[in-house]
Structure formats: structure tokens, C-alpha cells
Chains A and B, each alone.
Chain A
Amino acid sequence: MSDAVLQVRELVKHYPVRRGLLRRSVAAVKAVDGVSLTLERGRTLGLVGESGSGKSTLARVLVGIETPTSGQVLVDGEDVSTLSRAGRKQLRRDVQMVFQDPYTSLNPRMSVGEIVGEPFAIHGIDPAGGRRAAVGELLELVGLDPDHTSRYPHQFSGGQRQRIGIARALALRPKVLVCDEPVSALDVSVQGQVINLLEDLQEELGLSYLFVAHDLGVVRHIAHDVAVMYLGRIVEQGPEQPVYDTARHPYTQALLSAVPVPDPAVRATAGAAAQPGGLVLEGDPPSPVDPPSGCPFHTRCWLAPTLPEARSDAPGSRPVPTVCATETPALVPHGDAATHVAACHFARELAAPGVES
């Protein structure tokens, strides 16, 4: 029985591309193109994918910074878009955001006390015991000195600034934190401190996280479930263990094989996918303005050309099975778990040559 705190149904976010004097919309950047997700209460859903795949756009729609082009966002089962303004504002309080860059996401002219207490002011809330005390408590919660409320962001290190951002996000007692690359800008030795803090807070406050990161190691560590995005769509999703150990989408396998393994022996073993020379994906992701037909990954898929069904349309063109170029694969179960889904016509052919457990 699932207990979904946040649900996303068929979410679409297109940005118009405007040209000419009249700024007419001539095309659309399909940043998010039909995403469905479920975040279970008290759990962490990791979201991974290459740059430009739409992770941040999805995150911004979820916290209400952007309005979706279509689709639904449900918080605790209630559709945010069908509520009144007041009701929407209330629900929005339940979903807060932690930003990537602790250097630019905090207003340099505001003291730490003002930054962390600002959500109270915005929402006109007076917490029991007063705002001052509440801010002190929040700072303590994230491991900062509550006496430092009058200091300014530049007096803190990157890791501390990220803690300030987390304290602010927690002010309104949200149910969900959407963390967009919360540790990417931090030094390796400080990253772990923030990850451990997030895990502690989850346990203490029963929080649910949507955790966006490009570091697949970090995501494996913190997430219970993982969703892999490519060109605005989810191509694979499921519990962390099967997704990492028995990936069923060629893109997920390629992503995993590109992660450098801190073990020099891996290079020595020929054919090991994990190092340069392994499953290296060709080229860059195509433009989200004009995504490929059929399976959006077919222009870079390493599996498709190796299949017996592969054929080229034109001499010299990349041979892929016709179905890959013409039909968009649905996200359906392919692994042992019904919750492990992948969008590939040939997912069953993948005897998981990826990463061993």
C-alpha cells in the first residue's frame, strides 16, 4: 500500500522559442515532456540525467516557481491546480526547495536571521514562541550556531551556506524538500557532511526528498528510489537496488558505466565498462526543441545498432530497428520488481552487462 506525499501525472513544461519582431512563438523547448512520478512519504526519490534533460525544470514546477504547460501535481492527494489561490499557497508550503549554489541562492544583504525567518514573513506566520526563537531552533537543527543570526552569508563557508538554505527551506515545516543538486558545488570532504545532515533530518522530521543530482554515487547513497531522465522524459525508474544493479534501459547502463570508479584495477580488466573505453555514449543529447522520433534515445543508443532487427533507412545512416525510430516505448515493468520500469522496446534483451552488484 503506497502512501504518496507527492505525485506528478503526465507533467509537461514547454518554453516557447520566440523569433522575429513580433516575438512570435515558432517552436517549443520541450523541457519536461510527459513525466509521471510518485514520491512516497518519508522516502527519497533520486532524479538523474544529463545536463539539459529537464531535472531543474521539473523541480521548479514541483515547488510552484513555474506553472506547468499541462499535467497534474498532487500534494497529499490534492491536485494543486484545481485549488483556490489560498488553498494552493497552503499546499505550496508543504513543498520547499533547496538550491544548488550556496553562493548565489542567498541574498548577500540579508542577515542569516532574516534569510531563515523570511518564509514566516512572506506567509504572515508567527510561530509559537516567536520568530526569533524559531529561527534559532532552525539553525540549531541544521548544525549552525543559533547565536550567529546577525551574520551575513559571506561570513560562512559553502557547506554552512548550504545548511542555511536547508534551514530556510524547513521553516514552514514542509513535507517535501526538492533538492536541486544540493551538494554539487561543495568540496568532496564537505559534501558528505551535508548528505548526512539531510539523512538525519529525514529521520527526525519524517521528510520526503526529491533529490536531483548528477553524481550517481551520491544518489545511490541517499535515494530509496531512482528516476532516470532523458530529453524531458523518464526512461527508467524503480527502487535504487535494481536500477543500479540490473539497469533495464541502455541509457541508464551508459550513465552508470561512465561513472569513474575509484579503483585503478578496473582499468586493467579489459572490457570493464566503467572506464574510458567502456560504454562511452557518442555525442551530446539532441536538442529538446526537436527531439528524435520514436524512442528519443535512438540517435545515441548503443544497443539499437547491435540488434538483429537493425537496418538503415539511408546508406551511411545509423542502423536501428524500425520500431526504435518510429514508436515511442512506454514505461513498463521489465525487471523482477513490478515497480522497476523502463521505456525500451528491447529492455528484455539487456542481460545487464552494466555494473555488477
Chain B
Amino acid sequence: MSAASRMRSAAEGEGRGTRHSPGAERSEGEPKAQPLLEVTDLVVEFRTSDGVVRAVDGLSYRVEAGRTLAIVGESGSGKSVSSLAVMGLLPPTARVTRGSAQLAGTDLLALRPRQHRAYRGERVAMVFQDALAALNPVHTVGYQLTEALRARRGLSRADARTRAIELLDLVKVPNAKARVKEYPHQFSGGMRQRVMIASALAMDPEVLIADEPTTALDVTVQAQVLHLLAEIQAERRMGLVLITHDLGVVAGVADDVTVMYAGSAVEQAPVGPIYAAPAHPYTRALLRSIPSTAGADRGTRRRLPVIPGRPPSPAARPSGCPFHPRCDVAQDLCRTAVPPLTSPAPARLSACHFAADVLANRPPRAAERRDDRPQAAETPTTPPFDEQVPGGDHE
């Protein structure tokens, strides 16, 4: 069962109008307490045939009202699993073994499933990457938009219809009045993602978690959807968690950025400084590997700087710093000691032993020799062997 259909059936199971909604008394635009959502030291483990694997390994982040936090990471870094944990939507094989997720004084992770349901959608809502899979093909868009509202708030059919049209208008679906009666397959990818956003906004949540909401979309449609999210976020002073694997996407819309690698945050900073001067070698390498449309490498067709190897699987995480087999400035220390999250400058956090040096863009102080770059062959990974790069592809 997909996370979304789980969410759907959770909403269906809700009694009608039995509980006063926590979001109902908030008036629009009123500033909220800060931070809205604070995730601390989150650890999520899966039971698999290979034993227990840690998909999320000590993740912390905070989102404030009226701000957008971008969580950036490659596939498998734990972005979705950590979001599902906050939403209380983890599959049965997963367990939160440590950490908390505070939402206005309540630890979401300590809630029983029934209690968690009361928060889901109402206070914190989620938009999933695959909008088609998340929508039910046999119900109209209008029906799905207001399913939870009818169940939880006891809205009449007529009121639900009016609200569904309002919601579609809110996400700028043209001709909302006619389109509420249509089915998901009659909507394009971008329009479906708008419907998902509308559905997440139905109960006016304080925090919206959008998991790769534009990954499946064209650049043109991606721009529309990002624009829409930014607008709604600002209007409602919502806390927005924007999850993506694309650093380019977040520069224009995020206030703060958290970069994830192998299950935890390796760097956190306000958006301006992180692009200007990254404080973690992984962030720096990611930024360098984005091919630009501005033609900086025009004519010469300079080789793209790449990160050797590939992200480790959670079943075989490297010792010490999890990034060390791929890091271009790794030192002996990195192989054995896990770097703590340190603050090399105000408002900056980096999980690198040499954060201050990286931030200043100088070689690590321990590095007398720059040539002790680690061999990719050391990467402990499943599948059994590593990305091999002809002729030393690293720059």
C-alpha cells in the first residue's frame, strides 16, 4: 500500500465531527510560535532480510512559520523515510528508535497511531512525489479533495463541493467548477500535483512537507508548481519543508537548506551563504557538479566535475565520516572518527572535521599532502563493486 493510500484510509477511518480541529481557531495570516516543527536526532530503522538497516541516522532540522526549509539529498539519503516518520506513515517494518518531532509542544513521534491521525492533514500535511499513484482513479478529484473534510468536519455534500472548487482555485487549476467533477486521469502531471497540493491544504495545516513535488515534472511545469508553493507558503505563513534532490531547484525558493547524506544532515545553513560558501565538502561537490545553462564551460566543453563512487547503502555505511570514501579532502581522521555537527560560523552547521577550512575554501589544516585522496575501492557498498571511472574521472 502506498503511503498516500494509507493516508487516505486513515482519513476514511476517522469519526465524523467528533473532535474539535486544532487548526480551526487559527485566523489566516496570524503569526505562529517558532519553531513550528523541530525534528531532533531522528533514527529510523528497517527490518530487512539482511538484518536491521538504519535509513535515517540522527537527523535534526527545524522549520519556522513563514519560512521554507529545503532538504536536499541524493536518492536513498533518507528524505522520504524521515518525512513519513514525522507523518506517522512509516510501513510496519520500520521503527523510530530514537529522536523527537516537536510540533507546538507535542512530540509527534511519541503519539499513538490514533492520536497521530488527529495531527495528520490538520496540523502537518504532506505532498507526495508521484501524484498519479497518490490519487484514487475511481473517485472524482472533487470527492478526493474533500474526503477528509467530510469525514472529520462533517461537511455537507454541497459545502464540500464549494470547498473543493475553492481549493482548486487556490492552486490555480483553470475552470475549477467543471474540473472538480473530473477523474485524475483527465489531469496532466502538473495539474495532478496541484490537486495533491490542494488536498494537503484542505485542512489548513501549519506545516506542509512536499516530497520531491516537482521531480516528475517538466521544467516549465516545475516552475509553475514551485511558484505556486512559494506563493501559498507566504500567504499563509506556513512552514514549508521542500524535499528535493536538486540543489538548483531550491536556490530560488528556500530560506534555509539542510543537506542530507547517508541518513543524516551534513550541512545546514541559510540559503544565501550555503551557495556562496559551502561548509561541507559534499555540498561543495554537489554544487560543482550542476551543469549550467549559462554556458560557463562554453567552447572548451570542460569536463564536468564529478563525485567519484556513489552514495552508500544504509546496509553498508562507511566507518568514520560516511562521506570519506568520496571526499576530495578526506584525512586519516575521517576514516575512524564520526564528525560531529559543528558551527564554523554563525548560523552555519557542518558535520565535517574540517568545516572551518572548507568554509574558508582552504585545504584542511591536517593536510600536508593533498595526494592522500582515498581510493574508490574502499567504498563498502552493496551491490558488490564500485563505480569505476575510466582515467580517474574526478576532475
Interface residues of A (CB under 8 A from B): 50-51, 141-145, 148, 154-160, 187-193, 195-197, 199-200, 214-218, 220-222, 240-241, 244-245, 254-267, 274-278, 280-281, 283-284, 355-357
Contacts and interface: CB of A to CB of B under 8 A. Distances in A.
B108 to A, nearest CB: 30
A266 B222 CA distance: 17
B301 A221 contact: yes
B115 interface: no
A51 B384 contact: no
A217 B290 contact: yes
In this complex, the member of A189, A222, A283 whose beta carbon has the largest number of chain B beta carbons within 10 angstroms is: A189
Contacts of A220: 291-293, 295, 298
Nearest to B308: A193
Given A189-B307, A261-B292, 10 more contacts: A145-B385, A155-B384, A187-B74, A193-B387, A196-B306, A196-B389, A258-B219, A275-B252, A281-B223, A284-B221
B191 A284 contact: yes
A276 B310 contact: no
B304 A188 contact: no
Contact of A189 (B292, B311, B388): B311
A259 B304 contact: no
Interface in B215-230: 218-224, 226-227, 230
B252 A192 contact: no
B219 A221 contact: no
25 contacts: A50-B221, A141-B390, A143-B388, A157-B310, A160-B387, A188-B74, A188-B246, A188-B289, A189-B306, A190-B307, A192-B289, A214-B218, A220-B293, A254-B220, A256-B293, A258-B220, A258-B223, A259-B219, A261-B294, A264-B275, A267-B252, A277-B227, A284-B221, A357-B295, A357-B298
B17 interface: no
B286 interface: yes
Contact of A157 (B230, B252, B387): B387
Contacts of A277: 227
A187 B311 contact: yes
Interface in B302-337: 303-308, 310-311, 326
Nearest to B311: A187
B268 to A, nearest CB: 15
Interface residues of B, number: 63
Contacts of A264: 251-252, 254, 271-272, 275
Interface of A is mostly: helix
A93 B226 CA distance: 44
B303 A196 contact: yes
Nearest to A279: B223
B248 interface: yes
B180 to A, nearest CB: 18
A196 B304 contact: yes
Contacts of A258: 219-220, 222-223
A48 to B, nearest CB: 9
Interface of B: 74-75, 174, 188-191, 218-224, 226-227, 230, 245-254, 271-272, 275, 285-287, 289-295, 297-299, 301, 303-308, 310-311, 326, 381, 383-385, 387-391, 393
Nearest to A157: B310
B251 A260 contact: yes
Main secondary structure of the interface of B (DSSP, over half): loop
A28 B174 CA distance: 27
B375 to A, nearest CB: 15
B252 A266 contact: yes
Given A189-B285, A199-B301, A217 B293 contact: yes
Contact of A274 (B189, B252, B391): B252
B304 A195 contact: yes
B189 A216 contact: no
A199 B389 CA distance: 13
Contacts of A240: 295, 298
A284 to B, nearest CB: 4
A187 B245 contact: yes
Q: Which of B189, B223, B227, B304 has the most C-beta atoms of chain A within 10 angstroms of its own C-beta?
A: B223
Given A187-B245, A191-B289, A221-B301, A261 B252 contact: yes
A262 B295 contact: no
A190 B310 contact: yes
B16 to A, nearest CB: 37
Nearest to B285: A189
A243 to B, nearest CB: 10
A51 B218 contact: yes
A51 to B, nearest CB: 5
B220 A276 contact: no
B383 A188 contact: no
Q: By CB atoms of chain B within 10 A, which of A188, A190, A245, A255 has the most?
A: A188
B46 to A, nearest CB: 19
Nearest to B394: A193
Given A245-B295, A276-B253, A255 B285 contact: no
A222 B304 CA distance: 10
A144 B383 CA distance: 14
Contacts of A190: 306-307, 310, 387
A217 B291 contact: yes
